Amino acid sequence: MGKCHDLVTDVCEMYFQRMRKHVYVTPKSYLSFIDLYKNVYAKKYEELDVEAGNIIKGLEKLNEAAEGVEELKIDLKKEDAKLKEATERTDLLLKDLEVKSK
């Protein structure tokens, strides 16, 4: 922060050389700069905090979705077994019908 204050002082000297107008950097302007920096820092910190919360919520939703997918896979296996049984029954019935129709 002090280096930035020194940089502004140097720029004020360059401004004087070009425009022939004096501009001064006072302790009050430095304190204003520090206050502005603190405000910007707090705002950015708050934005990052909100983004971190959103990311955490998103990860929780992804975990919930993954658990849901695993449950659906188990249900699918059960339904697949039922489907195989039904297919076998249907095949038997078709064979019986073919025999009866002949």
- pLDDT, one tens digit per residue, over 28-78 is 877 888 899 999 999 999 999 999 999 999 999 999 999 999 999 999 999
Whether the model clears a pTM of 0.85, i.e. scores above it, the answer is no
CA distance 61 to 8: 48
Return the C-alpha torsion angle 29, 34, 39, 41, nearest 10.
140
> Domain segments of the chain: what residues?
2-101
Average predicted confidence (pLDDT) for the chain: 90
